[in-house]
Amino acid sequence: MFKLAWRIAVPRYETDAAFDRLLALFHANLPILDEVCFFETVTHQLYVEPAILERRAAILADRITACRELGIPSVGINVLTSIGHIDEAWDTNPPLPFQPMIGHDGGVAKGSGCPNDPALRQYVDWKYRLFAGAKPDFIWVDDDFRIHHHTVPFPCFCDRCLGLLSAETGVRWTREALVNALDQPEAGATRRAWVERNVRSLEDLLTHIGRSVRAVDPGIELGLMTAGPGWTTYSGVQIGRWLRALGATKLRPGGGFYGDAARLGIIDKALDCGRQLEDLPEAVTDTQYEMENFPYQRLAKAGATLAHETLLALANGHTGIAYNALGMSDLGFEDEEHLLAAIHAGRVGWDELANVARGTHAAGLWPAWSRDLAWKRELEPGETWWHPSAWHSSMVPTALAEIGLPLAAQAPGDGTILVGRMVEALDDDELRALLSGGLLCDGVALGALEARGLGHLTGVRTAGSYTNGLAERLTDDTLNGSFAGELRDARIEFWGDSRGQAVALEPLDDGARVLARLEDYFGRPGEACVSAYENEYGGRVAVMGYAPWMFLRSVSKRWQLLSLADWLTRDRLAVRIDEPVSVTPWVRLDAERRRGFVVLLNHGLDVLESVTVRVRLADGETAHRVGPMAAWSTAVVVV
Ligand SMILES: [Zn+2]
């Protein structure tokens, strides 16, 4: 079974009339209701007057009983705020009676408190005990559990937090001194101590919350909602540590993907939620992808999109999905009817696929990342620690998913994708291990590998780096198939800072194959810019020097990259789609690679009459014809 959970806003249950309507909806939808959780508050600001919450807890005790009587298997409470999310309603809410979070720039949060403030902890302790007393089956701790982005972007620089760091480092810090130190290239140890402080501030509060709930009822299960590393690693992304501190059995990975206007965000979110499943304690067996519909308006997200997200959640290793889909209205459900219909239509298929998914793991190329990126990241002259470069992003490889390469959210994949300066976050042994397998990297990563003395393992060296006036032309290497001579012009100088977008490569020996060369706008050829090389470790490494993460959608470039991925994984890459179509595959296989499934997302807006999907299993390749696929549709191939 694939667990379908519903999050319910306060206006939906607070009055008897609204709750009667909600119960009627539940009654009509029991087959798609495995779990219900009720938000305890309507505001993302932490502080709500105790009398209001006491009244609400009493109401919730009644609502939870009513849901159980209706036959809903699991009923709990979603505590929306433990720290505060953002500034909200500062003119109509009472001000925080706690130490507010203080940003690195001295900014003062209006809605979020310092997790180390004893007054905040006392309030949070009281609040969790109060809601534990309503006898829920479980309590979620929502995703304000991060240090970053509480309107003040990089807290918390209050005197108490600075004092904690001072005690841990033996240096007496002021905000100004620490902010300045964090921006110094040689201050890696300070950055490490600060990120660890961020991890601990959250860990300590979670320990505290776990104790508060268990003091009331040790039988209440706890769950933690988290945000992914694709956003930032400033908070340390120590999801395993935090889950252990809380004593959690549930995890809800989340991220922003709010509507169809930017539909390809579905791929980014699937990847970043899948990543949050790494390092799970054994006790955590209930993992619910967050399906986000905020602010709950019918025309924002199609029922089809909800269904696609559910399928991608399954394909990325979750055991269920938390629908944040029912809106804030206390009246009707006109904004949600289409979503309910989509869930009814999908339920049986998802449950069947969840059975197939048992014992499988993600297959495809693994985009490398590190939870240590925030403190290991290096600072070049003129750079500030507060704003990583685009070459530090762990999300740009989704450009490869968009053209049909399967990505594995969890390591190890069939091969690895290494983005530019992510190299800085990996130690030499980790890099050697990646270079011993199949590795696809860019020209900036080549430079970073050279700085570490590992460049020779790519078979090429950096021969120059340009910012304008260049396209690339494919060579007659066999990996280019029939596309030798094709030109790709990404017009790199159009899109802002183009440093790193045209790195020239020089082969170090005859074994380095050249798949493309730079060429100026007047047809004059230049140096090599795409290479493939088998190194002394037996690793197969490809370097993409020209516009590696944008405008990869041409038929010829897609062919080159798919062929390159097959070559560097020694034809082990789990899936290849023949036709040049806008289809992203997600693959899960068992350990022996004898069975599993492929989920296909046609994120294009054309109908695809027939798509040929080649799946590579231990005993060879099988080809499957899929179609027709409607625009913005999915298909599943079980193998
Ligand atoms: Zn603080």
412 falls within a domain = yes
Residue 13 sits in the same domain as residue 88: yes
CA of 147 to the centre of ligand 1 (A): 10
Is the overall model pTM greater than 0.95, yes or no?
yes
CA of 160 to the centre of ligand 1 (A): 6
CA of 103 to the centre of ligand 1 (A): 9
pLDDT tens for each residue of 21-65: 999 999 999 999 999 999 999 999 999 999 999 999 999 999 999
Residue 386 sits in the same domain as residue 329: no
User: What pLDDT, on a 0 to 100 scale, did the predictor assign at position 366?
Assistant: 98
User: What pLDDT, on a 0 to 100 scale, did the predictor assign at position 226?
Assistant: 98
Of the pLDDT bands very low, low, confident and very high (cuts 50, 70, 90), residue 178 is very high
- Which residues does residue 626 pair with via DSSP β-bridges, in sequence order? 611
**Count: domains in the chain:** 3
Of the pLDDT bands very low, low, confident and very high (cuts 50, 70, 90), residue 375 is very high
Query: What mean pLDDT do residues 129-148 have?
Result: 97
Residue 114 sits in the same domain as residue 251: yes
CB 436 within 8 A of CB 537: yes
CA 104 to chain centre: 25
CA of 113 to the centre of ligand 1 (A): 8
User: What pLDDT, on a 0 to 100 scale, did the predictor assign at position 541?
Assistant: 98
Residue 511 sits in the same domain as residue 603: no
CA of 441 to the centre of ligand 1 (A): 39
Query: What mean pLDDT do residues 464-472 have?
Result: 98
190 falls within a domain = no
What are the Cα distances from residue 625, in Å, to 68, 74, 578?
46, 41, 10
Query: What mean pLDDT do residues 542-559 have?
Result: 98
CA of 138 to the centre of ligand 1 (A): 29
Neighbours of ion ligand 1 (CB under 5 A): 114, 156, 158, 161
Residue 535 sits in the same domain as residue 622: no
Residue 261 sits in the same domain as residue 129: yes
Domain end residue (candidates: 518, 539, 571): 571
Residue whose entry in the numeric block shows the structure tokens 């304008």: 468
User: What pLDDT, on a 0 to 100 scale, did the predictor assign at position 392?
Assistant: 97
Residue 304 sits in the same domain as residue 394: no
Query: What mean pLDDT do residues 257-262 have?
Result: 96
Domain end residue (candidates: 521, 552, 571): 571
pLDDT tens for each residue of 377-415: 999 989 999 999 999 999 999 999 999 999 999 999 999
> How much is the mean pLDDT over the chain?
97
CA of 158 to the centre of ligand 1 (A): 4
192 falls within a domain = no
Residue 300 sits in the same domain as residue 284: yes
Query: How far is Cα 574 from Cα 519, in angstroms, rounded to an integer?
Result: 34
User: What pLDDT, on a 0 to 100 scale, did the predictor assign at position 506?
Assistant: 98
User: What pLDDT, on a 0 to 100 scale, did the predictor assign at position 128?
Assistant: 98
Structure tokens at 260: 């169809």
- Which residues does residue 519 pair with via DSSP β-bridges, in sequence order? 471, 525
pLDDT tens for each residue of 481-509: 999 999 999 999 999 999 999 999 999 99
Residue 564 sits in the same domain as residue 582: no
Cβ partners under 8 Å of residue 427, min gap 6 = none
Of the pLDDT bands very low, low, confident and very high (cuts 50, 70, 90), residue 305 is very high
Structure tokens at 509: 């020996």
| Concatenated DSSP letters of 124-166 | HHHHHHHHHTT--SEEEE-TT-SSS-BSBSS---SHHHHHHHH
Residue span of the structural domain in which 625 resides: 572-639
Residue 626 sits in the same domain as residue 486: no
Residue 230 sits in the same domain as residue 264: yes
